[in-house]
Amino acid sequence: MPEAGGHAPTHSALLELREEQQVMQEGYRFLDEKRLLLAAEIVRRIRDYEAQRERFNEMHRQASAALRQTVRRHGLEGTAVYPAAPLDASEIRLQRRSFLGVTLIQPETTLQAEQPAGPAENPSPEARHCASRFRTLLEQNVILAAITGNLHRLLEEYRRTERRARALEDVLLPEIRESLHELEAHLEDIEQEEAVRVRLDYSQQ
């Protein structure tokens, strides 16, 4: 009797194949649930990104307005040579957590402006306000960068999970179903042949 799907036509082989099918089905259910959870998290993160992007745009408008006021006060050249406040004491702390095996980052930014290297010849509240606005804008940019990185990692994990789920759904599970069907058909043929042989042996006695 030929083998079905590489399996000898025996009841033990049938049981093993059914167990393998059950494991694959459980794996598929896990991957299917995982990709749904990942998709929901991606949607949530996209909404967060959009909200933070709107906040960034508003901060950018405020920083641009502060820069225009500074240029009106000091002129373009005066603004260009205005002493910058170093950010050497600034710190970005990253809190990491895992979501379904994906590392997500939440930054905590502390941008502390130090005193300029030299005094300004013509200090002004406009220049100080401008520096403060751009410092806040930089902090918001760090938040956006972290969200973008999280989205890229979540999307990559979703695609990887999708490929595995599709492989099980479209290839492996159909193959094992076909093998089970062939093996069951072979076993049925064997049982029928055995029944016929028993009847013939009995009739010849």
Name the residue ranges covered by the structural domains of the chain. 11-111+124-203
Res. 107: pLDDT tops 60? yes
Residue-level pLDDT at 81: 83
Sign of the CA dihedral running 143, 144, 149, 151: positive
The mean predicted confidence, pLDDT, of the chain is: 85
Residue-level pLDDT at 2: 42
Residue-level pLDDT at 59: 96
Residue-level pLDDT at 89: 66
The CATH number given to 11-111+124-203 is 1.10.287.3240
Could you tell me the pLDDT band of residue 196, with boundaries at 50, 70 and 90?
low
Residue-level pLDDT at 114: 54
Res. 11: pLDDT tops 70? yes
Q: Encoding tokens for residue 18?
A: 């059914």
pTM for this predicted structure: 0.75
pLDDT tens string 85-97: 777 767 778 899 9
Q: Which of 109-113, 167-171, 173-177 has the lowest mean pLDDT?
A: 109-113
Give 89's Cβ-side CA count (13 Å radius): 7
Report which residue type is found at 42: I
Residue-level pLDDT at 118: 59
Per the rule left: phi > 0, alpha: psi between -120 and 50, beta: everything else, 101 is: left
Could you tell me the pLDDT band of residue 198, with boundaries at 50, 70 and 90?
low
